[in-house]
Amino acid sequence: MVVISGLISTQAAIAADAENKVFNQDTTFDEITGLGGVITIVSGVTVQFNQSVDGDDVIINNYGTIIFNNPESERVINYEISGTINNHGDIYITSADSLSHFVLDGTLNNYGNFDIITGGFAGHFLHNYGTFSGGAMFENGAYNYCSGIITGSVNNVVNMCPDKDVTYWKMANGEKTEEPKIAGPIIIKDQLKGVGDVDGDGTDDIVWQEDNGQVYYWPILNGHRTENSEDGIKISTPIGKDWHFKGVGDVDGDGTDNIVWQHDSGVVDYWPMLNGVRYGSQRISGPVGSVWQIKGVGDVNGDGTDDIIWRHSNGQVIYWPMINGVIGAGIDISVPITSDWHIKGVGDVDGDDTDDIVWQHDSGVIDYWPMINGVRHGSVNISGAMNTQENQIKGIGDVNGDGTDDIIWVKPNK
C-alpha cells in the first residue's frame, strides 16, 4: 500500500494500477511511505519530495526531474529506498540540514545528471554513463563508463572505459627511437608496479597489483603481451596493505628477476621467482628508517646482480650492492638532488650493460645518469618537457628483447 500524506500541490495523474505509477504532471509531496512497484516520471515533469520517502522493491524510471528536498535546517530527513533507480533525466538531492541522507539498498544506473548538492548518499552499486556529482559511498563499487563523469568524493570508483594505452619508448644508446604500443586501449583498474623478467624467458614482463593486494604479471615477448586474460597470470595470493611493492630485479643472481618489498616497519624482503612462480620470501634487511626510500632495483655497479637504490629525504642517493640476495655496505652515488627531480626507474637505457638511473623533473623533462661501476658519469637528456598528469612513466625494462632497456608508459588512448 502507498500512503501519501501532506500533499502540497495537486497530485499528478497516476496511470495504471497501484504498483505501476506514472507521473505526467508536476507534483510536490510531503511524505511517502510504503512505496513499491514501478515509478515512471515522464520527460518535462518535476516531482519534488519535501519530507521522507520510504520504499521497498522499487524501480524508479526517471526521464524528467526529481528533487529530494529538505527545506528546514533544523530537521533531519532520510530517504530510504530498496530497489533500482534508472535515471535518464535529472535528480537533485538537497537539504538545509547536512545530516540528511539518501540510502539506496540497490543499484543506481545513471544516464543523466545526478547531483548531490547537500547531504549524503549511500548505495550498493553505481553504473554511471552520465554525470554524477557530490559525496557518496558505494559499498560494492562505482563503475564509470566511457561517457561518464564523476566529480566529488565518491569511493570505490572503477574505470570501465578502455581509454588507456601501455606503450614503451624503444631506447638505443640512451635515445628514444620509436614508441610502440604494448596494449590498448584498455581499462586501467590496477597499479602497474614494475617491469622485470619474472618468468625467466629473457624478456622483461610487466607486474601489476590490484587494490586487494593481488599481484600478477603480463608475460611480454617482442614488445607485445602474450597472455590476454583480464587479470594476467597471478603470482601470489593478496598481500596485506602493510607491505609495499618496491621494485623488480635479480637481487639473488639466479638469472630471474625477483620482487622486492618493504614493510611498514622498514623491513626489506624479496620474493625469489622461478618461471613466474613465487618461492617463499627472503629477508634482505631489518628495519630501515622512513627517511630512506627505495626508488628502484638495477645493476648499477655492473657485477651482474641487481642492486637496490635508495634516496634520503634530503635528496642523497645511494645503493646497496647485492650478492646472492645479501646486501653489502651502502655506497654513495651522488650528493643530494633537489626535490623537483624524481627517480622513475633503473635500467640500461644506453646499452652499455650497466643499469642507469632515469629521472623526471616536475616540468616533465626526462634525463638519465649513465652509471659505470656504481659511479655516476654526468647526466644525459632523453626528452623535453611533457604532461606528467596524462603521461606517466611506470617502469624501465627490456620489453622487446633487444638487449637495451626501454621506458614503459601509461598514456591516454590516441
Q: Is there a contact between 55 and 35 (Cβ–Cβ < 8 Å)?
A: yes
Q: DSSP letter at 34?
A: E
For residue 17, give every residue at least 6 positions away whose Cβ sits within 8 Å of its Cβ, in sequence order, or none: none
Residue of higher predicted confidence among 29 and 76: 29
Residue of higher predicted confidence among 75 and 248: 248
Q: What is the pLDDT of residue 158?
A: 86
For residue 253, give every residue at least 6 positions away whose Cβ sits within 8 Å of its Cβ, in sequence order, or none: 304, 305, 322, 323, 324, 325
Rounded distance between C-alpha atoms, residue 194 and residue 202, angstroms: 16
Rounded distance between C-alpha atoms, residue 339 and residue 140, angstroms: 39
- The fraction of the chain above a pLDDT of 90, given in percent, is 73
The lowest-confidence range among 14-23, 71-80, 90-99 is 14-23
Q: What is the pLDDT of residue 198?
A: 98
Number of H helices, E strands in the chain: 0, 46
What DSSP line would sit under 285-323, residue for residue? ES---TTEEEEEEE-SSSSSS-EEEEEETTS-EEEE-EE
Q: What is the pLDDT of residue 1?
A: 37
Rounded distance between C-alpha atoms, residue 255 and residue 234, angstroms: 21
The tally of CA atoms less than 13 A away on the side-chain side of residue 413 is 11
Rounded distance between C-alpha atoms, residue 208 and residue 7, angstroms: 56
pLDDT of 10 higher than 50: no
Q: Which three cell numbers stand for residue 364?
A: 616533465
pLDDT of 8 higher than 80: no
Q: What is the pLDDT of residue 96?
A: 67
Do strands 282-285 and 277-278 pair parallel, antiparallel, or not at all (unpaired)? unpaired
Q: Is there a contact between 157 and 149 (Cβ–Cβ < 8 Å)?
A: no
pLDDT of 238 higher than 70: yes
The residues that bridge with 343 in the sheet, in sequence order, are: 359
Q: What is the pLDDT of residue 72?
A: 75
Confidence band of 116 (pLDDT split at 50, 70, 90): very high
Q: What is the three-state SS of 57-68?
A: EEEEEECCEEEE
pLDDT of 114 higher than 50: yes
Q: Which three cell numbers stand for residue 212?
A: 586487494
Q: Tell me: the pLDDT tens digits for 33-90?
A: 778 889 999 999 999 988 888 888 999 999 999 999 887 766 677 889 999 999 999 9
Q: What is the three-state SS of 72-123?
A: CCCCCCEEEEEEEEEECCEEEEEECCCCCEEEEEEEEEECCEEEECCCEEEE
Q: What is the pLDDT of residue 27?
A: 87
Q: What is the pLDDT of residue 36?
A: 82
Q: Is there a contact between 231 and 216 (Cβ–Cβ < 8 Å)?
A: yes
Of 145, 192, 187, nearest in space to 165 by CA: 187
Q: Tell me: the pLDDT tens digits for 252-298?
A: 999 999 999 999 999 999 999 999 999 999 999 999 999 999 999 99
- How many beta carbons lie within 10 A of that of residue 329, not counting itself? 7
Q: Tell me: the pLDDT tens digits for 189-218?
A: 789 999 999 999 999 999 999 988 999 999
Q: How far is CA 85 from CA 60, 61, 136, 236, 318, in A?
A: 5, 6, 15, 39, 57
Residue of higher predicted confidence among 171 and 389: 171
185 cis-preceded (ω within 30 degrees of 0): yes
Of 410, 297, 270, 302, nearest in space to 358 by CA: 297
What DSSP line would sit under 195-215, residue for residue? EE-SS-SSS-EEEEE-TTS-E
Radius of gyration of the chain (CA): 28
Q: What is the pLDDT of residue 19?
A: 64
73-93 burial by CB neighbour count: b if 16+ within 10 A, else e?
eeeebbbbbebbbbbbbbbbb
Q: Tell me: the pLDDT tens digits for 125-167?
A: 999 999 999 999 999 999 999 999 999 999 989 888 888 899 9
pLDDT of 23 higher than 60: yes
Q: Tell me: the pLDDT tens digits for 337-375?
A: 999 999 999 999 999 999 999 999 999 999 999 999 999
Rounded distance between C-alpha atoms, residue 230 and residue 189, angstroms: 11
Q: What is the pLDDT of residue 330?
A: 94
Q: Which three cell numbers stand for residue 199?
A: 618468468
The lowest-confidence range among 17-26, 109-118, 375-384 is 17-26
- Diameter of the chain by CA atoms? 85
Of 347, 315, 348, nearest in space to 332 by CA: 315
